[in-house]
Chains A and B, each alone.
Chain A
């Protein structure tokens, strides 16, 4: 996703000189091409995220479109009030980019787990929240958030995520992308869990269970129609995210379902339990250890469908 993001950003930055990238002294081996090609549009603000975010808002107030870029929680939680007051309240063109959503930096420890970011960013007024599901979505998302004025949070994975979209993608902020259709349930995924969603659907196929898979790349504004359709047209809904079960995709979908008139569908949020994940481990290990491995998700679906009314 990282490469896709930079490809799109550099492409646009070459013609749109408002585009400015500010990094918090991170991105070694990654940001240099941008810095070299667009020195007047690049800034390393040092290890000082509060000032970095204020500077970004100040530059945006002068007409620039500013990307702040760091890893894990540094560009979000460390400078949350600057995001709320300086960026969101002034509705400026600051796009906050976090590399390493979820457990992407799993082995680095709890400080580097971005597992509450979606909930926090989603609650901020004026903030658009985007978590692409694969590199193709990441590239489209980068272009889309530049085209749309105002604050945005872009949560990326890291690098090496598989390309999951086989055909052309009709990417629009706030519109879920359906990757496959089915009747028995809908798996709604956000961010890098999309591959797990598709793997789960494939395993369910073998058991004769047909699933719709939606990539909810935009968490805010949320595609409520896609959720309502899933509730009406399929037998159950399961959300899947590499994030706390509190306040992220699962919470957002639950809010829609709870207020929906008429039909009630069985529903489960698959995400991280409320505690920290203090053990070292790769992203794959930590996902599996917290119920996000494909086998666990398949089991969750089976449990969910068992309790569904016949």
Chain B
């Protein structure tokens, strides 16, 4: 489908660059959610470099795959990925959060090529994805829909309405990817509102469920390249991830759900990522 087919090493390199972009963006903007961005960067790069059928020069191509970042607070990671994939100039990233510009702090479709839907309030992406997948099915179009959700987002009842809906309507063109980094806004998922056993819940609702290491490129590719794994069933990929992944002092720390890196933290983080080259 795409002549564009980078190697795993190229995807890894891109992930590293995107993490550096996100650090610069959140530092400049003094914005939150750097940890939430880092847990999905590897998922996003594999999706945009190896899985999604999209045309950056024709973002409204009708039969494109639809990608929904339901956890809209991961906006910086998505914007950086879209810029790297060529949907809009990288210079836009320097204006993240800035007065009067397009790149708002939660995923915003308005004026941003490649963004399908605006999100930010949790629990909206999966129902929207169900509607897109159902319309594609009924109209006989080859469109596939991928939605990335957070674990904390699974607290929202609307997701469980959608979780009932998708298998009932046999939406095997729909894939939900859960960024299971085990930390939500106020503490660990286990402490706030326990999701365990998460895979069993989705399986019981009728989804084809797999669990992967959300930072292992081979596993991500294998899981996403082969959807749907079961005919007539939507796919749920539970990606075990680490909040803040890629910068040692941010990993697994609730603090980085909120705190933007200051100058010295930025330098330290960039240095660490440079070292990963």
Contact = CB atoms under 8 A, between A and B. Distances in A.
Q: State whether these chains interact.
A: yes
Interface of A: 40, 43, 45-46, 48, 50-64, 81-82, 85-86, 89-90
A89 B134 CA distance: 21
A59 B134 contact: yes
Interface residues of B, number: 32
Contacts of A43: 134
Interface string B113-131: 0001111110110111111
Interface of B: 62, 109-110, 116-121, 123-124, 126-136, 138-139, 141, 143, 157-158, 161-162, 164-165
Q: Which 6 A-B pairs have the closest CB atoms?
A: A58-B131, A54-B127, A51-B161, A62-B135, A48-B161, A55-B131
18 contacts: A50-B127, A50-B157, A51-B161, A51-B165, A52-B161, A54-B162, A55-B131, A58-B128, A58-B130, A58-B132, A59-B132, A59-B134, A61-B116, A61-B132, A62-B136, A81-B124, A85-B119, A90-B109
B131 A56 contact: yes
Contacts of A61: 116-117, 128, 131-132
A219 B134 CA distance: 33
A54 B158 contact: yes
A36 B240 CA distance: 45
Contacts of A48: 161, 164-165
A86 B165 contact: no
Looking at A46, A53, A58, the one whose CB has the most chain B CB atoms below 10 A away is A58
Contact of A82 (B109, B124, B139): B124
Contact of B129 (A46, A52, A56, A58): A58
Contacts of A55: 127-128, 130-131, 134, 162, 165
A82 B130 contact: no
A54 B134 contact: no
A259 B143 CA distance: 51
Nearest to B116: A61
B165 A89 contact: no
Contacts of B133: 58
Contact of B127 (A40, A53, A63): A53
